[in-house]
Amino acid sequence: MNGEKSTDRTKRTSRREFLGLGAACGLAAAGAPLLLSSCGQELPEVGRGQEIARVAELEPNSAYAFADATTGGPGVLVRLKNGDFVAYSAECTHQGCTVSYRDKGYLACPCHGSVFDPAEGGEVVSGPAEEPLPRLRIEVRDGRVFRAS
């Protein structure tokens, strides 16, 4: 690498991002409730009105990653400890790195350590991020979770 910074994140990942994602990919391989496109998996693209997942596929205190067809960015569906579902943009509000779900029930950014609480509206638990994660509207019906129209 010659010191140039690429704006195409799909082709070049910084060392810091790589190291953070490597740890996350290890958790995914170990069976933790975590899915990331950065682990070499393509995320399923979900548009408004489309199914994200089946209720039975997600245990409480777990998450499912997907690509938001509207924005092209990553999204995350979280099944909270109480069994409720919430969904957020998975782009950290600090500098746009992809957050991942942690077994303690939080969404964490591997780049700079911001932590968000999905049970509290995506609010920042610790920074440097200052803004909560944007919430995505969802609907649960007939045993399935849909992206709201």
Q: Give me the torsion for CA of 85, 99, 134, 33, rounded to 10°.
A: -10
Q: Where are the alpha helices (DSSP H) in the chain?
A: 15-29
Residue 70 lies in a domain: yes
Amino acid at 133: L
Residue 7 lies in a domain: no
Residue 2 lies in a domain: no
pTM for the predicted model, two decimal places: 0.72
Angle at 118 between CA 43 and CA 113, to 5 degrees: 80
Residue 67 is part of a domain; what is its CATH number? 2.102.10.10
Residue 4 lies in a domain: no
Is 67's pLDDT higher than 90?
yes
83 φψ region: left (φ > 0), alpha (ψ -120 to 50), beta (else): left
Residue 8 lies in a domain: no
Number of residues that this document lists for the chain: 149
| Rg value, the chain, Cα | 15
Residue 6 lies in a domain: no
**Which pLDDT band, with edges at 50, 70 and 90, does 11 fall under?**
very low
Place of tokens 């920074």: 127
HSE-CB at 113 with a 13 A cutoff on CA atoms is 3
Residue 10 lies in a domain: no
Q: Give the tens place of pLDDT for each residue, 42-51.
A: 788 998 999 9
Burial degree of 17 (CB within 10 A; 0-12, 13-18, 19+): middle
* CA 111 to chain CA centroid, nearest Å: 14
Domain that holds residue 32: 15-147
Residue 96 lies in a domain: yes
Amino acid at 50: Q
Q: Tokens standing for 24?
A: 């996350």
- Give the total number of structural domains in the chain: 1
- pLDDT top residue among 67 and 43: 67
Q: Give the tens place of pLDDT for each residue, 75-128.
A: 999 999 999 999 999 999 998 889 999 878 999 999 998 999 999 999 999 889
Tell me the C-alpha distance between 148 and 125, whole Å. Answer: 27
